[in-house]
């Protein structure tokens, strides 16, 4: 019927009419933001490199600065600062994307790998690997230390995600309250395990493990960065295949199946992606919370909830945020350094509470 | 007319309880079938067996002469569309985005005519850019109906008449929209779709259906044209309500709640 919408049919406006920027505009703006924050991050720090000296230090132009200044700048840039910024960007991309996937999978804007213990599970496995490597038993594994930690963290995250999914999902329905509470319990178990490791660790191991408890990018090197970069690249490519599925999954598992989505396959890919991306991020920088929840939430407000754009945009905004947070972490208390995990928690936790209050009606908590 | 859907002694047992017990059902292209029955009779379980959500413990379901479970999900979606009773969307998708989800992997531009037609048909074009979670229950239900219509249209364009399953599609709708929904489903049937709907309102079922299937304790208690199905005896035996059924000028039964009396047992 071609019903004319009459006056009696009109309703007072509730909720916003959505005007959303296009994909190209969104991605371009986020790229520029990442470039901008990277330039800021390169120039500030314990050894400041003014913008004027930057092109020369990067090798883009000749300079009249003395060789000593130039070579110091270059050393700071290439062996400390740029690998760290690259690591921060990749970690931010990993954390934000895995958060967005997790929220899609659990149909719950409050899901965050760090909040529900997936990061802690990875950290526990990685810390176990440190102790193992250090023991005589693990000596033979020491040559692959750079690869072993991410792999252990991935395995730990994978186990945690599977357990969480098993507990929170019953016959196609995911209870948000049970999901959050189960995540809390799982995080507590993983943290108890970490505590136990701290207890049995010697001084040197302890230093390494403490770093997971607080989260820091100070240990970033080119080698570590090179290990995690492919995971982000492969993850983002894999995201292309789950974008539509995650969109339709928002209707519910049965409805997604009715619409032609292979739900079991979608869930398997999502769980592996969440675990791999969270795990390797944890292996580099420890537990950094709330990036996975803040970034997708902010983006949904502007570009909408469609995952095909949300996932790559999350990777970019996550990179921007973590590069920014890490720059702040290494400058506000210079020459000392604040663990980035403390910083993201201090900003992210109030943000989480705000979402919780807004979602209270919707989420049925 | 060929049978789009055919079940042979379909039985579903969960934890030892038999929810659906040996159902034989045939629905042809162009038929509108209403499934009615008291609470807990097994209607929803039956519909979930027909949609492929559940796999029967015994018996089988055939869709277009092929075992239902031999279709991969993406192909099944080309041949049958399902409107569930409750769909809860937590993310701020717009009505247009939700309706477009029915179009599968068709791009926004390619699917636009289908989406436009469905939005027009369920009369929610004016809500197109609104976020679904901000709408009333009835408006959301109509948006999901539009999504299912898009899926049906897309499948039928390529594969011919399909199956449309509706699980209490009118539960949150006001009178006008209940009747409009029934009319839309009727138009689909006239174009060849096999329509099966669970309905609670017997009057709506009478108006809606070519055939009414009454489910009682997991079995088919009656399966016939409305005039022969909805009788005083059946309503008393199955629904446990004493009623004197009136008749419209065309002979179709009318049930007035003013004339109903529950049977105390």
Its ipTM equals 0.93
The predicted structure's pLDDT at residue A86: 95
Residue A92, Cβ density class (10 Å: 0-12 exposed, 13-18 middle, ≥19 buried):
buried
Residue A333 lies in a domain: yes
Neighbours of B167 (CB within 10 A): 20
Q: Token pair 């009606």 is at which residue? A: A361
Q: Identify the CATH number of the domain in which residue A227 sits.
A: 1.10.3470.10
Interchain CB contacts (distance < 8 Å): A and B = 108
Neighbours of A172 (CB within 10 A): 13
The predicted structure's pLDDT at residue A309: 95
Euclidean distance between CA atoms B219 and A213, whole angstroms: 60
Neighbours of A52 (CB within 10 A): 10
Residue A315 lies in a domain: yes
Residue B146, Cβ density class (10 Å: 0-12 exposed, 13-18 middle, ≥19 buried):
buried
Question: Residue B134's closest chain A neighbor by CA?
Answer: A15
Contact B89 A244 (CB under 8 A): no
Closest CA to A208 of A129, A151, A288: A129
Contact B89 A251 (CB under 8 A): yes
- Interface mutation vs chain B, best among A18, A246, A293, most B CBs within 10 Å: A18
- Interface mutation vs chain B, best among A109, A242, A260, A303, most B CBs within 10 Å: A260
Residue A67 lies in a domain: no
Q: Identify the CATH number of the domain in which residue B219 sits.
A: 3.40.50.300
Contact B92 A18 (CB under 8 A): yes
Residue A316, Cβ density class (10 Å: 0-12 exposed, 13-18 middle, ≥19 buried):
buried
Question: Residue B121's closest chain A neighbor by CA?
Answer: A1
Average of per-residue pLDDT values in chain B: 93
The predicted structure's pLDDT at residue A246: 95
- Tokens read off for A143: 């040559």
Closest CA to B123 of B154, B95, B84, B82: B95
A1-32 per-residue burial string, b: 16 or more CB within 10 A, e: under 16: eeeeeeeeeeeeeeeeebeeeeeeebbeebee
Structural domain boundaries, residue B129:
3-262
Give the residue numbers in A contacting B (CB under 8 Å), as ranges. Answer: 1-3, 5, 9-11, 14-19, 107-109, 244, 247-248, 250-252, 254-255, 257-263, 300, 304-306, 359, 362-364
Euclidean distance between CA atoms B265 and B263, whole angstroms: 6
Euclidean distance between CA atoms B214 and B235, whole angstroms: 10
Residue A37 lies in a domain: no
A174 contact residues in B (CB cutoff 8 A): none
Structural domain boundaries, residue A121:
23-30+79-358
How far does A317 lie from chain B, in Å, by closest CA?
Answer: 19
How do the pLDDT tens digits run along chain A, 365 residues long? 443 433 333 333 444 455 688 889 999 999 999 999 999 998 887 777 777 777 777 777 666 666 777 888 888 888 888 999 999 999 999 999 999 999 999 888 888 888 888 988 998 998 888 888 777 665 666 666 677 888 899 999 999 998 888 888 775 566 667 888 888 899 999 989 988 888 888 887 787 777 767 777 877 888 888 889 999 999 999 999 999 999 999 998 899 999 999 998 998 899 899 999 999 998 888 888 889 999 999 999 899 999 999 999 999 999 999 999 999 988 888 778 888 888 888 888 888 888 878 766 554 44
Nearest to B180 among A1, A107, A250 (CB): A1
B183 contact residues in A (CB cutoff 8 A): 1
Residue A40 lies in a domain: no
* Highest-pLDDT range among B139-153, B169-183, B234-248: B139-153
Helix ranges (H only) for A106-252 are 118-134, 145-168, 176-200, 203-214, 222-249
Contact A3 B134 (CB under 8 A): no
Question: Residue A173's closest chain B neighbor by CA?
Answer: B88
Question: Residue A262's closest chain B neighbor by CA?
Answer: B73
B123 contact residues in A (CB cutoff 8 A): 1, 3, 5, 9
Contact A262 B89 (CB under 8 A): no
A243 and A307 Cβ atoms separated by less than 8 Å: yes
How far does B164 lie from chain A, in Å, by closest CA?
Answer: 11
Nearest to A362 among B74, B120, B133 (CB): B133
CA distances from A208 to A123, A202, A216, A341, B199 (A): 11, 10, 11, 15, 64
Q: Which own/partner contact pairs does A190-198 have at CB distance under 8 Å and 24+ positions apart?
A: A190/A117, A190/A120, A190/A121, A190/A123, A190/A124, A190/A156, A190/A160, A191/A120, A191/A124, A193/A124, A193/A128, A194/A120, A194/A123, A194/A124, A194/A127, A197/A124, A197/A127, A197/A128, A197/A131
Contact A260 B76 (CB under 8 A): yes
How many structural domains compose chain A? Answer: 1
B48-88 per-position pLDDT tens digit: 999 999 999 999 999 999 999 999 999 999 999 999 988 88
Nearest to B74 among A247, A260, A364 (CB): A260
How many structural domains compose chain B? Answer: 1
Helix ranges (H only) for chain B are 43-51, 73-79, 95-100, 108-121, 137-159, 175-190, 202-208, 226-229, 232-239
Neighbours of A36 (CB within 10 A): 13
A308 contact residues in B (CB cutoff 8 A): none
Neighbours of B119 (CB within 10 A): 23
The predicted structure's pLDDT at residue A18: 53
């Amino acid at each position: 019927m071609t019903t004319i919408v009459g006056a009696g049919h009109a309703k007072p406006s509730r909720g916003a009419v959505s005007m959303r920027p296009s994909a190209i505009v969104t991605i371009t703006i986020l790229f520029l933001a990442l470039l901008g924050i990277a330039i800021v991050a390169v120039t500030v720090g314990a050894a400041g490199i003014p913008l004027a000296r930057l092109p020369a230090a990067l090798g883009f132009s000749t300079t009249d600065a003395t060789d000593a200044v130039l070579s110091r700048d270059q050393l700071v840039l290439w062996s400390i600062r740029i690998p760290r910024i690259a690591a921060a960007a990749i970690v931010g991309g990993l954390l934000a994307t895995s958060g967005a996937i997790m929220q899609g999978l659990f149909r719950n804007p409050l899901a965050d790998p760090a909040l529900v213990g997936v990061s802690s599970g990875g950290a526990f496995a990685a810390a176990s690997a440190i102790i193992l490597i250090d023991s005589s038993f693990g000596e033979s594994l020491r040559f692959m230390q750079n690869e072993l930690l991410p792999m252990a963290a991935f395995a730990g995250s994978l186990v945690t995600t599977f357990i969480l999914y098993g507990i929170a999902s019953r016959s196609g329905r995911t209870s948000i309250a049970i999901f959050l509470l189960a995540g809390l319990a799982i995080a507590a178990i993983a943290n108890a395990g970490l505590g136990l490791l701290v207890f049995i660790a010697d001084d040197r191991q302890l230093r390494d493990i403490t770093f997971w408890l607080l989260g820091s990018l100070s240990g970033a090197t080119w080698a570590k960065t090179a290990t995690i970069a492919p995971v982000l690249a492969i993850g983002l490519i894999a995201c292309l295949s789950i974008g539509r599925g995650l969109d339709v999954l928002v209707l519910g598992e049965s409805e997604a199946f009715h619409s032609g989505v292979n739900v079991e396959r979608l869930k398997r890919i999502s769980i592996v992606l969440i675990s791999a991306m969270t795990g390797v991020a944890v292996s580099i920088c420890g537990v950094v919370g709330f990036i996975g929840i803040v970034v997708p939430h902010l983006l949904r407000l502007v570009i909408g909830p469609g995952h095909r754009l949300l996932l790559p945009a999350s990777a970019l905004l996550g990179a921007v945020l973590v590069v920014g947070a890490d720059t702040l972490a290494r400058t506000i208390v210079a020459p000392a350094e604040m663990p980035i995990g403390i910083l993201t928690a201090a900003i992210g936790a109030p943000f989480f509470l705000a979402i919780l209050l807004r979602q209270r009606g919707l989420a049925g908590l | 007319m060929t049978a789009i859907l055919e079940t042979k002694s379909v039985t579903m047992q969960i934890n030892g309880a038999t929810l659906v017990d040996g159902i034989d059902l045939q629905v042809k292209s162009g038929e509108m079938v209403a499934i009615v029955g008291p609470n807990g009779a097994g209607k929803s379980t039956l519909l979930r067996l027909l949609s492929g959500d559940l796999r029967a413990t015994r018996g089988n379901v055939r869709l277009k002469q092929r075992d239902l479970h031999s279709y991969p999900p993406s192909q099944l979606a080309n041949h049958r569309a399902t409107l569930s009773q409750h769909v809860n969307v937590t993310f701020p998708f717009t009505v247009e985005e939700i309706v477009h989800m029915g179009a599968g992997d068709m791009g926004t531009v390619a699917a636009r005519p289908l989406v436009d037609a469905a939005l027009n048909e369920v009369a929610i074009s004016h809500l197109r850019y609104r976020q679904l979670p901000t709408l009333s229950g009835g408006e959301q239900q109509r948006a999901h109906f539009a999504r299912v219509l898009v899926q049906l249209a897309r499948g039928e364009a390529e594969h011919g008449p399909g199956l449309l399953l509706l699980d209490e599609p009118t539960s949150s709708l006001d009178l006008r929209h209940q009747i409009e929904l029934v009319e839309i489903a009727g138009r689909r049937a006239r174009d060849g779709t096999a329509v099966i709907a669970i309905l609670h309102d017997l009057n709506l079922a009478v108006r809606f259906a070519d055939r009414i299937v009454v489910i009682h304790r997991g079995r088919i208690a009656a399966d016939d044209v409305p005039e022969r199905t909805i009788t005083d005896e059946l309503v008393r035996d199955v629904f446990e309500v004493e009623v004197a059924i009136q008749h419209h000028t065309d002979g179709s039964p009318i049930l007035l709640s003013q004339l109903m009396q529950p049977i105390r047992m």
